[in-house]
Structure 1
């Protein structure tokens, strides 16, 4: 019985995991898959497309489909946002990348009137001044995430949070210095396809989706002190969430 595109993709993924096809290796093309699995050309094409969509492989038009050679970043949300992480002077990013080369680029810090969705998230009046921090994260030479954080300007104006480099421990350590340490976080996550501008900013391979996260940081009193909009290359991440019942 002919296999489905999903079954073929799973088999190819297993062969990638076993090392048969290493990073940068060219995967069998549609004709080879048609012959090997006894399926229609459309099924073979769908199997390769599944691997591309999942971030396992990428397509070079006119050349073939290749195994991605970027080691995924394991993002453990509960670890990176723990107070023990940022209060010790470490950035939340150090929990993700360990000793891998990481660079923060395209840093911009400015004030602006709060968009309505930001005002709602931070319990501000529409149009109230907010401080905006935007940046791009590059790991192993590849851009993997764009992030933009919003704060009530009255809270952080004139503090290190308004500087490109907020210092050891990042903005959460500086919020603690201001007497407003975040103790609770809410993340809303979805996956979608990027806009052309987003794909260009993250240098995304064709057909690569993005992970979009909105995170709200709150004090013990329930006051929201930051809303962070993150856009991530879905092919560069493994999202891990640990829970206890």
Structure 2
């Protein structure tokens, strides 16, 4: 019965997406019942996917459904020419909003995983843009973009890389992007990742590594840790 009442409040958005539920003690007082009963009701809502538990913080109404990542289309040049970076295009086409929290702009030694993909010596300096990306004010991914220093010029080094994002700036500099490769793998998050992405207990993350090429030359390595319950990757392949 308590689960039914809380469910009704969630469905009607009396309890809005992202809103924190009252504490167990507050629910005990509201419904005049024992803690075990409240916990059982919350377990029902967790199992239904209506709420998510954040360790040490509380229980929250789950945000809107996953964003759909359109693998075959999101890096199309027409989106950059229209001033839309890939994630902005995908989110806005689904009625969502995007913002980023800039964490770092810096020259750093290339990590091994980056160096091998850029075909440079490990620890050679590269430029990195570190961000935390939000959709509908929900943290979705921790994203790092690594560039060879000769590519990381102008607005690529600035907080706002301009219309169309860094790929548009790379092409503005005369490096025409020709292809992208992506690798996806899955694992459980570290405690820091779980906190940064507001992940509930048991939610995995997606490790994504993408390489952008201009001709045969890699010009960026992008690594992301993505909330596993907030993304759907959609692929289309020719049947030839």
How high is the TM-score relative to the length of structure 1? 0.72
1:166 aligns with 2:161: yes
Pick from 198, 210, 214: which aligns with 1:215?
A: 210
Cα 1:169–1:192, aligned 2, differ >3 Å: closer, same or farther? same
1:179 is paired with a residue of what secondary structure? coil
CA contact (8 A) 2:54 2:198 kept: no
Pick from 177, 183, 186: which aligns with 1:188?
A: 183
Cα 1:239–1:67, aligned 2, differ >3 Å: closer, same or farther? farther
Q: Alignment length, in residue pairs?
A: 202
Partner Cα separation in structure 2 for residue 167 and residue 85 of structure 1:
13
CA contact (8 A) 2:54 2:199 kept: no
Which residue does the alignment assign to 1:244? 238
Structure 1: which 4+ aligned runs deviate by more than 4 Å?
A: 21-25
Partner Cα separation in structure 1 for residue 209 and residue 178 of structure 2:
17
Which residue does the alignment assign to 2:129? 133
CA contact (8 A) 2:54 2:200 kept: no
Which residue does the alignment assign to 1:97? 91
Deviation at 1:78, TM superposition (A): 1.6
> What is the root-mean-square deviation in Å for CA atoms of aligned residues?
3.0
Cα 1:168–1:132, aligned 2, differ >3 Å: closer, same or farther? same
Cα 1:60–1:138, aligned 2, differ >3 Å: closer, same or farther? closer
Deviation at 1:119, TM superposition (A): 1.3
Which residue does the alignment assign to 2:108? 112
CA contact (8 A) 1:218 1:225 kept: yes
Deviation at 1:60, TM superposition (A): 7.8
Which residue does the alignment assign to 1:152? 148
Structure 1: which 5+ runs fail to align?
1-15, 26-46
Partner Cα separation in structure 1 for residue 219 and residue 66 of structure 2:
30
Deviation at 1:57, TM superposition (A): 5.7
CA contact (8 A) 1:83 1:183 kept: no
Deviation at 1:235, TM superposition (A): 1.1
CA contact (8 A) 1:108 1:164 kept: no
CA-to-partner distance for each residue in 1:134-171, whole Å, 9 max, x for gaps?
A: 101111121111100100012223x1101111101101
CA contact (8 A) 1:57 1:68 kept: yes
Partner Cα separation in structure 1 for residue 176 and residue 136 of structure 2:
31
Deviation at 1:214, TM superposition (A): 0.3
Cα 1:105–1:70, aligned 2, differ >3 Å: closer, same or farther? same
Structure 2: which 5+ runs fail to align?
1-6, 17-42
CA contact (8 A) 1:79 1:95 kept: no
2:72 is paired with a residue of what secondary structure? helix
